[in-house]
Amino acid sequence: MTTAVADRTLNALDRCDRCGAQAYVRVVLESSGGELLFCGHHARAVEATLKPLSSGWHDETGRLHEKPPVSVD
């Protein structure tokens, strides 16, 4: 699996292409190299269709359940 696209972390400016919620999954299409962004909900909804067509499936939905980082000193 090659990743021509930088493996950047998604942030609050990345929005789901379907509903505009914050995106937690970035899909790189194998055919065009284009990126699609999805929230956790829509990532699940399109996974069966898109995953076979994708060259990259960057899933950060685990962060949904993370607590905000707390500085320890």
Among 14, 36, 42, 54, binds Zn ion (CB under 5 A): 42
Among 18, 22, 57, 61, binds Zn ion (CB under 5 A): 18
With a CB cutoff of 8 Å and minimum separation 6, the contacts of 25 are 10, 37, 38, 39, 40, 43, 57, 58, 59, 60, 61
Site for Zn ion in 50-69 (CB under 5 A): none
For 59, the 3-state DSSP assignment is strand
Stretch that binds Zn ion, among 24-32, 41-49, 53-61, 64-72 (CB under 5 A): 41-49
39 part of the interface to Zn ion, by CB under 5 A: yes
Could you tell me the smallest distance in angstroms from the CB atom of residue 12 to Zn ion?
14
For 13, the 3-state DSSP assignment is coil
Look up residue 73 and give its two tokens: 């000193």
Q: Which residues bind Zn ion (CB under 5 A)?
A: 16, 18-19, 21, 39, 42
